[in-house]
Amino acid sequence: MTKYFLSILLLPFFFLIGCQPLPKMVPLTEKPLPNCFLTEEALSIFLEDEHQYMMSNAAQRKQILLSVKASPERLANILSNERNNKTALEKSLPLFNQLPLLPNKSCTADRYLYLRFRHAQANLAAIEDKSAISARLNTAKLTIEKQQQQIDALTQIEHAITRQREEP
């Protein structure tokens, strides 16, 4: 009876030895989604707007601009197109500045517009640099032209003096 009693008493102990304690269950803490200004679906709308704008003629472009006028984010996106002129780029900057964009990786549409904003700023700076360089080039051309006229006038004077000396 003692063998039987001992085996019954030790049996649960042997089962427990082989068992591992369960790991503590750590509750999943989801990162709260940031409060993005724009929905993720807005990105596809921006891309579609850009595509239509780039593939259209001047009359259609005006119509597209009128149709998105109520949406500052869509209007800023279209006006910031690199094919647009300086005036359109300048109009896009204040529109971008109005938008409370959150340009982190989890807000794709916000980040896209923020990058368009930075791209528009860079394009505008490049246009202004080009204008400054063109102005300096034109000034240099005028200076060269003026100096060439002075050289031509001095050459004529020199020829006139040389002819006077050769005459008896």
pLDDT tens digits, 65-96 = 999 999 999 999 999 988 889 999 999 999 99
| pLDDT at residue 26 tops 50 | no
| pLDDT at residue 21 tops 60 | no
**How crowded is residue 27: how many other Cβ atoms within 10 Å of its Cβ?**
5
- Please give the average per-residue pLDDT across 57-64, as a whole number: 93
pLDDT band at 3 (very low <50, low <70, confident <90, very high): low
Tokens describing residue 75: 């209007």
CA distance 83 to 50: 11
Task: Give the pLDDT confidence score for residue 103 in this predicted structure.
Answer: 80
Q: Report the SS3 class of residue 54.
A: helix
pTM of the complete model beyond 0.85: no
| pLDDT at residue 131 tops 60 | yes
Task: Give the pLDDT confidence score for residue 10 in this predicted structure.
Answer: 57
Length of the chain: 168
Own/partner long-range contacts of 151-157 (Cβ < 8 Å, ≥24 apart): none
Q: Which residues contact 10 (CB under 8 A, 6 or more apart)?
A: none
CA distance 162 to 145: 26
Task: Give the pLDDT confidence score for residue 104 in this predicted structure.
Answer: 81
| pLDDT at residue 110 tops 70 | yes
CA distance 116 to 46: 11
Higher pLDDT, residue 34 or 97: 97
Task: Give the pLDDT confidence score for residue 72 in this predicted structure.
Answer: 94
CA distance 54 to 44: 15
With 0-12 / 13-18 / 19 or more C-beta atoms within 10 angstroms meaning exposed / middle / buried, residue 21 is exposed
CA distance 106 to 87: 32
Whether 122 contacts 163, CB under 8 Å: no
Domain ranges of the chain: 38-129
Whether 90 contacts 123, CB under 8 Å: no
Provide, rounded to the nearest whole percent, the portion of the chain with pLDDT above 70.
79
| pLDDT at residue 18 tops 60 | no
Task: Give the pLDDT confidence score for residue 50 in this predicted structure.
Answer: 93
